[in-house]
Each structure stands twice: as structure tokens, then as C-alpha cells.
Structure 1
Amino acid sequence: MPQTDPPTPRPRALSFDRAAAQYAAARPGYPPDLFTAVEEITGRPLCGARTLDIGAGTGISTRLLHDRGAHVTAVEPGPGMAAELHRSLPQIPIVRGDGNRLPFATASADLITYAQSWHWTDQAFAIPEALRILRPGGALALWWNVSDHSVPWIAEQDARLRRFFGAEESAHGSLVRSRDLPAGLGFVHRTVRWTRRVPIDTHLANLGSHSAFLVLGEEPTRQFLAEERARLAELFPEGTVEESYVVDLSVATR
């Protein structure tokens, strides 16, 4: 029987609630060049754009969109993540929901963004919802921070993660190829490289905030991260890691 009702968020998608403060403190942000690329592709400034940030989490992208002048509403299904977002960004309106069922009027948004969250949607529902809500000329922007595996120590860490979780699983993310996105929407793809320098503790907290670890259990997570700490301490005796990222951006204009 065909599915007629949007699915509820998967338990793994809501696993972040148990680590909302850790997520907010340790996860990387996004570089200014990302938002410049969104403006270039859409042909309009973010300043003044009525924007829905879907799967907003603790508001990492929400804050940056707001700082660029966008009129942002955050949409987040998890109560813990939404509470953390409200604590740090009390001025931003928050709506509890997910991309499969958006409680907004037709043709009411200039931009819909998914930062690290499109993969939690069911595209059969999320695409029609986005097209319904976007105004003519509006845009759907999807992006992910992906660890840069051209950096040797990051590639070695990724290999350890994949051995630990299984060949298809990692806490580094993976580039979204055009075949992974719905055909016919004319997605334009860009990549933006950037780095940040953080203490080893922050790097490990970032890893531990990924759903692969959050659903794994406390003891195996603790053991893996302890072993990783020892390796990183040898590589970076000064205690600071330079994380390298490629932001994978896809934008479709209605």
C-alpha cells in the first residue's frame, strides 16, 4: 500500500537531543564563502530573505544566516536541540517540525535551507513541501560539512572510523553526488574548503556528537575516543588540531 502520511523522524535523527549542549559547543560552523556562494547561485542577497532553516539543530547555521541579514525561522523536531537553540538565540522564532511536514503557508519563503539535515528527510515528502512553500524564484539550499580526506591524518582517522562502524559508516560525512538528489530540479553544486583550529578535546567532542556514536552506547564510544585521543596526542603534541573541511553545497531555484 503506498505511503500517504509523512513519516515521523527516525529515532537516530532524534538522538542528538541527548547531546545538544555538546553539539552546540563542538560542531563546526560554516565559512562566509558558503553564504556568498548561496547568494551568487540564487542571484539575490540573503539580507531580507524570508528563510526557513530546516533541521536547525542548535542553530549553528541559523545564527550565521541571521548575521547575514536573513529573516530566519528555525524548524527543529527535537525538543532538546530546540531548547538549546532558544537558549543561545532567543530572538529567533522556532517551530517544532521536520522537512516532511512543514507548517507554513504556500509561497511564503524565499529560501529553504538544510544544513547537515537533508539526509534525515524522506524526499518523496520533503521536495513537494519545499516546492509548495517557496515563492517563484525562491531557492532550496542543501549543504554538509565533510571532512577533507585529502589531508593524510584525516584520511587515516576516517579509515579507523569505518573499520570501527563498518565500511559504510563514518562520523566524517560524505560528499553528496548529483545522483543522490532528485532529478529535474536543476541543482547547482559548489564546494567550499575551509579549516578551523580547535583543542583535541573539542575535536573528539565533535566526533562524539555524531549520531553513529550517540546510538552506539557509552562504553564503546568512550573506548574509541580514548584510543583516538592517544593517537592525536602523538600527532599534535601542542594539543591543537587543524580540522579541514569541504562544504558540499547544492542549490535549486524554483
Structure 2
Amino acid sequence: MTAHSHTIRAHSFNSAAAQYAANRPSYPPALLDAIEETAGRPLTGARVADVGAGTGIATALLHARGATVLAVEPGAGMAAQFRRALPGVPIVRGDGNHLPLAGASLDFLTYAQSWHWTDPARSVPEALRVLRPGGALALWWNAAALDVPWIDAQTDRVHRHFGTEPLGRNGDGTHAALATAGDRFDFVRRRIRWSRRVPLDTHLANIGSHSVFLVHDERSTAAFLTEERRHLLAVFPDGEVEETYDVALLLATRP
């Protein structure tokens, strides 16, 4: 993927912020438990910056766990949706390459589905700058479980239709993160499986909010989703889709 296309995909979410907020999956409580256990400290009372916060899906969970959270989000559309959903949580415009945060000010720096949009040559030094000694960098992704046959088949259909490879075939950015940041951070890797059951329309709106769909023309996207509805009804005739995810977590503590 070229730098130009990467940038286009990174900014594509702003036009679909409401769709993203309404249909994207959240994360299981076990993820927050794993973050606390691996970091060796609770989120309650911790100073946290959630970077690439988007519409606030992860931020809301961190806030509910008792953390003092500041959201950082570069996109105007996503930030506007965030403010509607979480009016009591502060949000500032910025990104992981240029964090608008004081040095050594954070107990946790979190990236939910967003580290792969950064430039590690910049985001790694920024993470080291803003974390206090003993603070934790936590990166995670909801990765579609490719060992589930219908999910693997759907992923192949997406690739064939759009002729492009999504960022990490199943949305898991851990391999790239380890390759680009593993020399500066000693990551512990955890994986948590979970699932949710949603109406077929919600599932289609969920996958349609991914960047590979958003950067293509509406006719191509609509054609895929119409055909995909037919495939899914053959698997889920009651119109309720069982989505299965593996949350891939990388966590490292700053020396």
C-alpha cells in the first residue's frame, strides 16, 4: 500500500462516523482485565490517553472502568461523533505521530484499532515521551476469527471483489507493530476470543464501515453487500449473525 492510499484510507472514516459508531463491535470486559493484569496496575484512577479514539468505543470502556481519560483523534467527523456520544470526556485533535500531551504525564497510552495508522518512526518516540516511567503502552485490535469458516469465506470474497488487501488480512496489526516497535518496547501478547450476535443489517453495516469499503465507489460497495446478504442468509437463515473475534493485545511497560 502506498503512503497516499494509506492516508486516504485513514481519513475515510470521517464520512461514515455515525455508521461506525452504530455498528462497529465494542470489546469484552476480559480485555480490560488483561490490560490491568499485564500492566500490574488498575485502570481506576489512572491517567490515560486513548489515541485514534474515533467515535469513543474504547474510550467509553476505559472511562467506565474508572480511568481519567483524554481522547486524541485527528478526524473532524469522528471527533464530532465522539462529542455527541461522550460529552463529558475531553477530546483533543491530534494523532499518534504528534501527541498534544506533556512528557511523562500518562499511566496508560492506548490505541484501539489505530496504531497501524501511525508512522512508527514518530509514534514510538512520542509514546516513550508521554508515558511516565512504569507507564504502559497498550495496542489492540478486534480481529475477525478466520478459523470460523463463514468468516474466512467472507474475507476471501472481500479481497476478490475489491482487489485489494485490507490492513492485516483479518484486521490484526500485531505483526506490523512488533516489527516496527518491538525493538523499543518489550511487548507481552495476549489474545481474547469473544463473540456477539447481531441482525444481518448490523453486520453488513459493520463491514461496510471498514476503510476498504469506504474508499471504493458506492456502486461497487452496494453490489458487494447485496451479494453478501445472499451468502449470509444461507448460513444464518434467521437473519441473526454470530460474529466471532479474537482481540489481539500488545502491552509494554516503559522502563
Aligned-partner Cα distance in 2 for 1:242–1:90: 32
For the 8 Å contact 2:60–2:86, the answer to whether it is kept is yes
Alignment pair present for 1:176 and 2:174: yes
The answer for the alignment partner of 1:225 in structure 2 is: 225
Q: Distance in 1 between matches of 2:70 and 2:172?
A: 27
Which residue type is aligned with residue 52 of structure 1? A
Tell me which residue corresponds to 2:107.
Answer: 110
Map of 1:202 onto structure 2: 202
TM-score (norm 2): 0.93
| Structure-2 separation of matches of 1:221 and 1:205 | 11
The alpha carbon displacement at 1:174 in A equals 3.3
Structure 1 stretch 157-166 or stretch 78-87: which is displaced more?
Answer: 157-166
Kept after mapping to 1: 8 A contact 2:120/2:180: no
Matched letter for residue 173 of structure 1: G
Q: Given residue 155 of structure 2, which amino acid in structure 1 is its aligned partner?
A: D
1:189 aligned to 2:176? Answer: no
Q: Secondary structure at the match of 2:137?
A: strand
Q: 1:172 offset after TM fit, Å?
A: 3.9
Take 1:246 and 1:63, find their aligned partners in 2: how far apart are those partners?
A: 20
User: Is the Cα–Cα contact under 8 Å of residues 116 and 173 in structure 2 kept in the other structure?
Assistant: no
User: Where do 5+ consecutive residues of structure 1 fail to align?
Assistant: 1-6
Instruction: For 2:60 and 2:144, locate their aligned partners in 1 and report how far apart those are by CA, in whole Å.
Output: 22
* Distance in 1 between residues matched to 2:173 and 2:131, nearest whole Å: 26
Q: Does 1:89 align with 2:69?
A: no
* Cα displacement string for residues 63-89 of structure 1 (whole angstroms, at most 9, x for unaligned residues): 000010010001000011001000010
Q: TM-score w.r.t. structure 1 length? A: 0.94
CA distance in 2, matches of 1:16, 1:121: 15
What are the equivalent positions in structure 2 for 1:32-47 lying under 5 Å apart?
Answer: 32-47=29-44
Figure out how many residues of one structure are paired with residues of the other and give that number: 247
Q: Which runs of 4+ in 1 moved over 4 A?
A: none
1:50 is the counterpart of 2:47: yes
Measure how far apart 1:155 and its partner are.
0.9
Displacement after TM superposition at 1:189 (Å)? 0.4
Distance, in Å, in 1 between the alignment partners of 2:235 and 2:26 is 24
| Aligned Cα root-mean-square deviation (Å) | 1.6
Q: What SS is found at the alignment partner of 2:87?
A: coil
2:10 aligned residue:
13
Partner of 1:4: none
1:75 aligns with 2:40: no
**1:135 & 1:227 partners in 2: Cα distance?**
50
Query: C-alpha deviations, 1:148-169, integer Å up to 9, x for none?
Result: 0111111111111121233633
Residue of structure 2 equivalent to 1:152: 149
Q: Which runs of 5+ in 2 are unaligned?
A: none
Please list the CA deviations of residues 126-183 of structure 1 after superposition, one character each: whole Å capped at 9, or x if unmatched. 0111110001100100000000011111111111112123363377413522335432
CA displacement at 1:184 relative to structure 2: 3.4
Residue type of the alignment partner of 1:135: R
User: Hey, what's the Cα distance between the residues in 2 that align with 1:30 and 1:98?
Assistant: 22
SS of structure 2 residue aligned to 1:185: coil
Partner of 2:163: 166
Contact in 1 for aligned 2:195/2:244 (Cα 8 Å) = yes
C-alpha separation in 2, matches of 1:54 and 1:64? 14
Query: Aligned residue for 1:135?
Result: 132
Tell me the equivalent position of 1:250: 250
The residue matched to 1:231 in structure 2 has which SS?
helix
